[in-house]
Chains A and B, each alone.
Chain A
Amino acid sequence: MIRDPNFQYPFLIGTIFLFAYLIIRVILWYIKLSKYDKLRFIHFWKTKSVWAAIRDSVADGLLHLSIFKKNPLLGYMHMSLAFGWFLLIVMGHLEVIADRHSLNFPFYYAVFYRYYQPHPDFAGAKVFGAVMDFLLLIILSGVALAIIKRIRKQIFGMKRTTRLKTFDKIALASLWLIFPLRLLAESLSAAYYHNGSFMSNTLGEWFIQNVRVSAIYDLSWWLYSCSLGFFFIALPFSRYMHIPTEIVFIFLRHAGIMPKKYWNSYAQIQMYSCSRCGICLDACQLYEAGVSNVQSVYFLQFIRNNENVDKSLFGCIICGRCQEACPVHINLNDLRTALRIKASKPLTFSYEYTQKALQQKAGIIYFAGCMTHLTPQIKFSMRRIFDFLGDNVWFMDKDKSICCGAPLMLAGQYDSASQLIQKNTELIMASGAKTLILSCPICYKAFREDYVLPGISIKFHAVYLNEMIRQGRLPKINLGFKTIYHDPCALGRGSKIYDQPRYVIDSYSQRIRLKKEKAEALCCGAGLGAINLPIEAKNKVTFEAMSYFARFKPNALITACPLCKKTFARDRRIPVLDIAELTARAIDEYVNEQKKTVRETRLIES
């Protein structure tokens, strides 16, 4: 009994619109990629990375394993919806193929199979029916969780969930309705023909006894089709655009395409890949400090909606905690920097002072950077260490120093930063040095990412110190105090250096292990990224981080960043030392002991 063959149109229109939109979108994105990125992408298809991309697409796009690892319940919610729906589509088509022994049927046939096929009597029809009912049940459990999450997010262990826009609301409502409506339509079919399985047949029985099924039968299929149609039309304008975009992003990422300092189509793809799951909200320390509009999910949303982003763009410390937490692996720090560059007017400063810089020949260069100059104890300690090692080191910015360029870059001043980078590059290359040592991780990150220094090994001081200890050139000595190591943002999350500073600290003290460390380390509250963040918010971040450390009652907080040191020191609860200061103390202690031993030996001899 097929009474009304027209109800599939809303679905058809929606699907055709969506696919047309996506094809055009992807083509436009591809066209706007740079020449080299296009070459990378073409070459990529000949490499094994394709398999990795497919694996990641399944793992993250369908199974949502990254979310699963961070929050199992939330992961299940995403997985049941995405993977469940995917399987429903695949199984639906297999069911039709099994029934008709042919591939020749309209693509919407499988979607409304229970309507078109009242009497499935092929071999395995019952198994297919049961599987389809089971998959629908799984998806419905996901929908139920999604609704619960909107009402009571605490059940998910989440403190916050995202705010929604109008199109998001339409898409969200249609998405939530699709599956209950499908169940309703299929159950009503089952009521007539008993062509369902354990769930739809049972519900069908109930309907036949309690409801006039013929009155709502067609309507139910119309509503199901409409909900699908609405969802597909709303999708490109809502957060659900992340579903197709994320797959594109995964493939481009595996093709080796890197984020740039300017806003390009790769940046745009990353922006659309944000599913607004809200995991970044809980990772952001600024939320606790009362700032609730700079978080990555909102910042990306503001850009997508062409809203004013000044605050959210320049009010973030760029500590990278959200990037680390992001289950989609969006390069949030780079997106923000690229947009800052796009949003800033270039400065007209001449940078004449760079012409006065001094040139020297050396094997090793030490570049202190402005923040080390403002924490002279670190500078002193570095000099003590170099003296002890007896290395010939050129202290490049001892006088007439040139900035590394990082503060300008973070403020969006690409051209100005480039001038400084160029001058520093000239000086370093002309020195003939093989090693460049830095004691500020912000400088270190800039030198690694924004400089091209062929033949020169760029080393962070903690890495250098670790090498020296391993080679036995620096003493191992226990200074007898309990320490905590704080991972600076630019060093840890920013440069992925976690272990070497720990080895150095372990050589000199008893280090307390923390839960919030390495990639999950707290931010000190004073990163250079925070251009227009109120001081109260920064202080709150510092205070909370220090309160966390204070619970472990260490004798000293060791960090490897002059800015972190300065920031934490003003809290005054725990003495703060740079890793270089700790090492210099160890050297002093060692030298004193040596002297004592010499004296004692002399006493015995005399």
Chain B
Amino acid sequence: MKKIVIIGGGIAGLEVSRLLLQEGFPVTLIEKSSHLGGNIRNYAYLFPDFTPSEEILKNYTSLPGNADLQLLLNTEIEKIDFSSRPYTLFSNDGIAISADSIIIATGYQIFDARLKEEFGYGIYDGVITSVEMEKMIREQHIVTPYGKAPRRIAFIHCVGSRDAKVGNTYCSRLCCITAIKQAIETKKLLPQAEIFCFYIDLRMYGLTFEELYLNAQKEYNIQFVRGRLSETSEMIDKRLIIKAEDTLIGRPLKMMTDMLVLMVGMEASNFSKQFAYHNGLEIGEHGFFKPLNQFNARGKSQKEGIYFAGTSIGPMSVAETIEHAQATALSTISYLKGKEN
């Protein structure tokens, strides 16, 4: 029987595992942390319809019990030997695993907002990331670091995305719509709060995203300012002063706010970068794995039997990740049956 190893236990890795197991292939699933799910656990509700993320994860709850699944938690792959078939994977605790096919579903990591030092993350307590905001939304309790309900909150789009100064020139695609989602959720929890979104332009690419954006303005009175943040400073009472430029009016803008939410972008995981470096798989200019082409082989690598699933190749939404994982699963099955290489 052919052996398949899936690296990464996020939704991409889980979806590929589910489909391969369903087709009767035994699967080894490797996850570096102690639990499955990956980055989706950072989000309580998903855009555009506020579906709880637990509902997505529910689809995979029966997986660990499957007899054909070998699940290796707390395991990291350090090196893959591509010189002979089947390939051999070496983990950090010295285990060697052989595989006829490997699916790389190592996902993304969020941009380290401290690198955008002028925004004040890690320096001023009132500055948080979208991941921390999501946690507050999950707990239905949004408070400033000094325990008060914020009266004004500013969401900053494109933090670590489309910004050559931090080395990321690409768009992370999801931050715009996530900001709108979080702004609406915040408004629902704090109807009295004033909410501002600072954007470069709004990339409402999904079928229903535009409606959500209009709703945010009409029903939730969320204000959108076109312009990037330039710098944050703090007052003695810990409130924040932000400086930006309103590029529609063409004037600099200065505003006081209780809380600043940085919509952190998606970056190739450190693992992806190091993994590619040590193992000779090609990465693209933005640090993500580079698929064979951008059209009909988005899940294939340059090496035979090695596939990619999900955000290891670039920013994707939950829905896109699952679709990509399904496509990769199909490619893998075809390959293992000898119908495709």
Contact = CB atoms under 8 A, between A and B. Distances in A.
B98 interface: no
A569 interface: yes
Which range contains the number of B residues in contact with the other chain?
10 to 19
Interface string A368-393: 00000111110010000000000000
A570 B232 contact: no
B115 A376 contact: no
B115 A375 contact: no
Interface stretch (B29-37, B164-172, B330-338): B164-172
A377 B117 contact: yes
A574 to B, nearest CB: 13
A377 B120 CA distance: 8
Given A569-B115, A572-B115, A539 B167 contact: yes
A376 B164 contact: no
Nearest to B124: A376
B167 A376 contact: no
B233 interface: yes
A570 B117 CA distance: 10
B231 interface: yes
Contacts of A572: 112, 115
B245 to A, nearest CB: 14
B166 A376 contact: no
A71 B232 CA distance: 50
B118 interface: yes
Interface string B218-256: 000000000000111100000000000000000000000
A377 B232 CA distance: 12
A88 B124 CA distance: 74
A566 interface: yes
B123 interface: yes
A535 interface: yes
Given A566-B117, A569-B115, A572-B115, A376 B123 contact: yes
Contacts of B120: 376
B165 A376 contact: no
Contacts of B233: 373, 376
Interface in B95-121: 112, 115, 117-118, 120
A566 B163 CA distance: 13
A377 B167 contact: no
Given A373-B231, A376-B232, A377-B123, A535 B117 contact: no
B118 A374 contact: yes
A534 to B, nearest CB: 10
Nearest to B166: A570
B118 A570 contact: no
Nearest to A566: B117
Contacts of A570: 115, 165-167
B117 A569 contact: yes
Nearest to B285: A536
Contacts of B165: 566, 570
A376 B127 CA distance: 13
A572 B114 CA distance: 11
A561 to B, nearest CB: 14
B127 to A, nearest CB: 10
Q: Give the interface SS of chain A, mostly helix, strand, loop or mixed.
A: helix
A55 B164 CA distance: 50
Contacts of B232: 376
Contact of B118 (A376, A380, A535, A539): A376
A377 B233 CA distance: 11
Nearest to A376: B123
Interface string A337-377: 00000000000000000000000000000000000011111
B301 to A, nearest CB: 25
Nearest to B118: A374
Contacts of B231: 373-374, 376
B203 to A, nearest CB: 22
A72 B29 CA distance: 62
A376 B165 CA distance: 17
Contacts of A566: 117, 165
The residue in B112, B115, B118, B166 that gathers the most chain A C-beta atoms within 10 A of its C-beta is: B118
Nearest to A373: B231
Nearest to B232: A376
Interface string B129-171: 0000000000000000000000000000000000011110100
A571 B117 CA distance: 14
A536 B124 CA distance: 32
Interface string A25-51: 000000000000000000000000000
A539 B115 CA distance: 16
A555 B227 CA distance: 37
A380 B230 CA distance: 18
A380 B123 contact: yes
B118 A375 contact: yes
Contacts of A374: 117-118, 230-231
Interface string B71-84: 00000000000000
Interface string A564-585: 0010011110000000000000
B2 to A, nearest CB: 38
A572 B287 CA distance: 13
B112 to A, nearest CB: 8
A274 B169 CA distance: 40
A373 B118 contact: yes
Contacts of B112: 572
Contacts of A539: 167
Interface string A99-111: 0000000000000
A375 B117 contact: yes
A484 to B, nearest CB: 19
Interface string B166-188: 11010000000000000000000
A375 B231 CA distance: 9
Nearest to B167: A570
Contact of A376 (B117, B169, B230): B117
A595 to B, nearest CB: 23
A571 B231 CA distance: 21
The residue in B123, B124, B169 that gathers the most chain A C-beta atoms within 10 A of its C-beta is: B123
Contacts of B124: 376
A157 B234 CA distance: 54
A566 B167 CA distance: 11
Contacts of B169: 535
B88 to A, nearest CB: 29
A377 B234 CA distance: 12
A535 B164 contact: yes
The residue in A380, A571, A572 that gathers the most chain B C-beta atoms within 10 A of its C-beta is: A572
Interface string B242-286: 000000000000000000000000000000000000000000000
A375 B115 CA distance: 10
Interface in A516-549: 535, 539
The residue in B117, B124, B230 that gathers the most chain A C-beta atoms within 10 A of its C-beta is: B117
Nearest to B164: A535
B253 to A, nearest CB: 14
The residue in A373, A374, A376, A569 that gathers the most chain B C-beta atoms within 10 A of its C-beta is: A376
A374 B112 CA distance: 16
The residue in A380, A566, A570 that gathers the most chain B C-beta atoms within 10 A of its C-beta is: A570
A380 B122 CA distance: 12
Nearest to A538: B164
A535 B167 CA distance: 9
A572 B232 CA distance: 22
A566 B117 CA distance: 8
A374 B166 CA distance: 13
Given A374-B118, A570-B167, 14 more contacts: A374-B117, A374-B230, A375-B117, A375-B118, A376-B123, A376-B124, A376-B232, A377-B123, A535-B164, A535-B169, A539-B167, A570-B165, A570-B166, A572-B112
14 contacts: A373-B231, A374-B118, A374-B230, A376-B123, A376-B124, A376-B232, A377-B117, A377-B123, A566-B117, A566-B165, A569-B117, A570-B115, A570-B166, A570-B167
Which 5 pairs show the lowest CB-CB distances between chains A and B?
A374-B118, A535-B164, A570-B167, A375-B117, A570-B166
Interface of A: 373-377, 380, 535, 539, 566, 569-572
